[in-house]
Structure 1
């Protein structure tokens, strides 16, 4: 017996991946021109906003499994972009931070990245882009903190979206 499912291209994970790839197509040439992968740029961006993070916190911030993070860090360290320091209280924990060279690279890459964001806002529409951010924030918040919800207009809209996905 085969269960009936929505078409593969209408699955939420697939739609989110397709949207991510469409966005990253805009950023990748710029990142590659600066010798960076998507993952390396996420690490640099996350570390630029703090003094230091341990591996687990950096992995969470960048949505990278620690194994993937461990593969990216040696190149960044060899290039002099990040530094590792053992935690004084717990030698098993490692603190990661951007070096001065890493911060300079961030300052070099960031302006063009902001130009790409501005172009996306122009193409998508600033209001629509803000709606996308707001909806994604809402979805993330709901899924990270599931709570029984009373029947509401939002729940009814959710049911309508699910029905539309099955009907296609």
Structure 2
């Protein structure tokens, strides 16, 4: 073992992966019977919050690679949860918007999602929860939200 590397118990990448799994477990449970994935949920959440947007912005705000968003948007479109339209001025530019069905998916789970967040805040404490979000934002190269 080399002394240059920190213990895996104190490795930031490993700690973040473990924390992600801890955070995502209750969300996966919430989504288990919906027929949508974590990534699809993120796309719907972003659209519900910000409204219609171009695919590049949506990929960035959803923390998805553009090719993944393209596939996810097509799946959500096929499920009737989003619409895709071309830009009026630039036909190459695509816009995605949540439909009433997609919004219903969010609305039907809003209370359960809020309880999940409350659980995190209870575990961490309100101040630690907010501090953690602030600290993680410092590591986000594109994080301006």
Q: CA deviation at 1:8?
A: 4.3
3-state DSSP class of the match of 2:92?
coil
Partner of 2:67: 67
CA contact (8 A) 1:86 1:95 kept: yes
Partner of 2:96: 96
Kindly report which structure 2 residues correspond to 1:1-168, keeping only aligned pairs within 5 A, or say none: 4-137=4-137, 139-140=138-139
3-state DSSP class of the match of 1:49?
helix
CA contact (8 A) 1:84 1:94 kept: yes
State how far apart, in whole Å, the 2-side matches of 1:94 and 1:75 are: 15
State how far apart, in whole Å, the 2-side matches of 1:100 and 1:94 are: 20
3-state DSSP class of the match of 1:33?
coil
Larger RCO of the pair (alpha carbons < 8 Å, separation 6+) = 1
Query: How big is the alpha-carbon RMSD for the aligned residues of Structure 1 and Structure 2?
Result: 2.1
3-state DSSP class of the match of 1:85?
strand
Long gaps (5+) in structure 2: none
Q: CA deviation at 1:124?
A: 2.2
Q: CA deviation at 1:132?
A: 1.1
State how far apart, in whole Å, the 2-side matches of 1:116 and 1:66 are: 28
Long gaps (5+) in structure 1: 146-168
CA contact (8 A) 1:81 1:102 kept: yes
Equivalent pairs, count: 142
State how far apart, in whole Å, the 1-side matches of 2:26 and 2:110 are: 14
